[in-house]
């Protein structure tokens, strides 16, 4: 583990510190501050020339500030002659718009990909992009990690029985199918429509959920309107219990109030985003990504396989 450095932006310093502690590598000091007009100043505190640098920065709210900070940090590393710039971005904003749904719309997922590539990043490590095809928007290697094995391990360790995996829509079927296969469980799906942004109407539950613990697996909870509506529909269809497993907990607006009063008994989140104290309701439980990301960083630096991280032996997720 020679010639490796870890640096952190301001979006999620707790996660960066946890990763550094596991790897037993101190975070390289950086000076980041805002000028009076809102512009961002970024300076690396030590030499990085020819080093393998891992820049840890989620594009969390305020997303525009943290995205700009990410781009400025990458540019600083490039101009400091870093040997390789590896961007570790557990949550990448703007990925929900990966196509033109109606005329005269932008494709912001592609725009962000172009910005990151042009800034000078050599590699991107991220978790649960909204759509797998976004990897193809980048002209640099993308290590796209998935969160569902961590949820699977939690469910096994807590001996949750009579489970059925629920995909919230057709777009989430691949993720749901992967988790169902991992746990050897049946898969059901929600038929829904979205009349306006951040609102969904459940039309039907496709599959048998009666008397079972419904495990709803999704990538993002934003305002929580969709998952709350799905949890209600699952309970009405006879589900014994509803557990929501979501990689990215944005929890915007009244999301926590909705989740607190929802039919879900537990909400499992990964710490791709920092969770403010006022959002830590009793139903929410956080599963740390730090051990996985630390091992990913170690393997990338040493040129080892990442695929070997996700194996299934004796009903145990090995990470």
Catalytic residue list contains 192: yes
* Cis ω before 29 (30° cut-off from 0): no
Half-sphere exposure of 193 (CA within 13 A, CB side): 2
- Tell me the three state secondary structure of residue 197: coil
How many other CB atoms sit within 10 Å of the CB of residue 151?
Answer: 26
Q: Which helix (H) or strand (E) holds 204?
A: strand 201-206
Determine which one of 3, 78, 162, 192 is catalytic.
Answer: 192
Nearest to 271 by CA among 295, 244, 246, 254: 246
Largest CA distance in the chain: 61
Nearest to 261 by CA among 295, 294, 285, 227: 227
The residues assigned a catalytic role are: 192
């Amino acid at each position: 583990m020679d010639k490796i450095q870890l640096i952190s932006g301001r979006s999620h310093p707790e996660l960066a510190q946890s990763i550094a502690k596991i790897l037993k590598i101190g975070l390289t000091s950086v000076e980041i501050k805002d000028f009076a007009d809102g512009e961002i100043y970024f300076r690396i505190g030590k030499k990085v020339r020819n080093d393998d640098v891992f820049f840890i920065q989620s594009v969390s709210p305020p997303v525009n500030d943290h995205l700009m900070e990410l781009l400025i940090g990458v540019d600083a590393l490039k101009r400091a002659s870093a040997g390789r710039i590896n961007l570790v971005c557990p949550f990448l904003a703007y990925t929900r718009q990966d196509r033109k749904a109606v005329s005269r719309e932008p494709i912001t997922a592609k725009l962000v990909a172009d910005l990151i590539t042009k800034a000078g990043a050599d590699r991107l490590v991220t978790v649960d992009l909204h759509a797998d095809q976004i990897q193809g928007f980048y002209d640099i290697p993308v290590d796209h990690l998935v969160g569902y094995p961590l949820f699977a391990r939690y469910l096994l360790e807590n001996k949750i029985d009579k489970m059925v995996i629920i995909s919230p829509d057709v777009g989430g079927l691949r993720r749901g199918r992967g988790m169902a296969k991992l746990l050897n469980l049946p898969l059901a799906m929600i038929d829904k429509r979205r009349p306006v942004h951040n609102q969904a109407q459940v039309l039907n539950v496709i599959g048998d959920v009666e008397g079972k613990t419904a495990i709803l697996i999704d990538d993002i909870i934003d305002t929580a309107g969709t998952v709350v509506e799905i949890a209600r529909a699952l309970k009405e269809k006879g589900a014994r219990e509803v557990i929501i497993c979501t990689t990215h907990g944005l929890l915007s607006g009244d999301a926590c109030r909705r989740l607190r009063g929802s039919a879900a008994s537990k909400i499992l989140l990964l710490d791709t985003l920092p969770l403010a104290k006022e959002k830590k309701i009793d139903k929410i439980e956080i599963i740390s990504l730090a051990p996985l990301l630390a091992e990913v960083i170690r393997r990338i630096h040493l040129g080892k396989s990442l695929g070997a991280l996700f194996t299934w032996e004796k009903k145990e997720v090995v990470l």
